[in-house]
Amino acid sequence: MTLSGKYALVTGSSRGIGRGIALKLAEKGVKVAINYRLNEAAAQETLDKVRERGSDGFIIRADVSRPEDNARLFEQVKSEFGRLDIFVANALGDLFAVLAPPTELKIEQWDKAQASQGRAFLEGVQAAVRLMPDGGRIVAITYTPGGGTGSWQAYAAQGPAKAALESLVRYFAVALAKRGITVNSVSPGLTEDSIINALPPAAQEMIRDWCASGWTPMGRMGTTEDIGNAVAMLCLPEASWVTGQAIAADGGASLMNSDFPLAIQLG
């Protein structure tokens, strides 16, 4: 199944999950706008890999948490592509700048997290649909556990920001349904070559062991290609009846129950 002739913007696509999404779309014939915030060399490397897969695109620097950058981003998409068929909101923002437990969280950190997630998505979708024909595709990359639990205390700003993002997905899905534009979110599980790579090596090894032990039923961490596959699936014409949904691409991790020991759950 191909998406040949389509045009996409993937925010935060210079590395990690965003790159995996951009490359999977390129494999299906999509031309991709590669957005980055700081690392131009990584963005260029992603574009080179897009071209290796027989597609093309361009790179653009923009911090989606800044309204003026967001506006410029979509103006360049309009100038380069003329239209936009797929918008993937993936940019994470400066996560480590907003990590703090709720008792210590500063208002500036709260605002920064919201700006890079819910507000950026609101501005992005409003701009995207002005360039998007009927039948377009919008996908937000979120993290459902972060908005539904309180266990990772340092995620007290980013978790609610992701929850706001997921809520907006549902509102936009209803608003754009009559145009045949679908709006969904994909929630990755623990994924190789992602923000996990910024953790100390010992922490990364603990996470891999956790997944292998069975808390991820498929016994491994995800890959950026796994997440790219999930996003590409939602962009296919055959997915036109799926909208307003939060898809967990996590190898079954969200199916496990923390109330019971793993040995009981796996029998």
Q: Count the neighbouring beta carbons within 10 Å of the beta carbon of residue 153.
A: 14
User: What phi and psi values does residue 138 have, to the nearest 5 degrees?
Assistant: -125, 130
Is 178 noted as a catalytic residue in this protein? no
Count of Cβ atoms closer than 10 Å to residue 167 Cβ: 13
Distances (CA, A) of 98 to 11, 57, 162, 204: 19, 32, 13, 21
| Pairwise CA distance, residues 92 & 59, whole Å | 17
CA-nearest of 111, 92, 101 to 150 is 101
Q: Please pick, among 49, 162, 171, 178, the residue that the annotation labels catalytic.
A: 162
Clarify whether 155 is annotated catalytic. yes
- Give the residue ranges of DSSP H helices in 67-195: 67-81, 107-114, 120-131, 144-148, 158-176
Give the C-alpha separation, 168 to 163, whole Å: 9
Q: What are the C-alpha distances in Å from 44 to residues 10, 48, 73, 131, 197?
A: 14, 6, 17, 25, 20
Say how many residues make up the chain. Answer: 267
Determine which one of 7, 36, 143, 155 is catalytic: 155
Catalytically active residues, by annotation: 155, 162
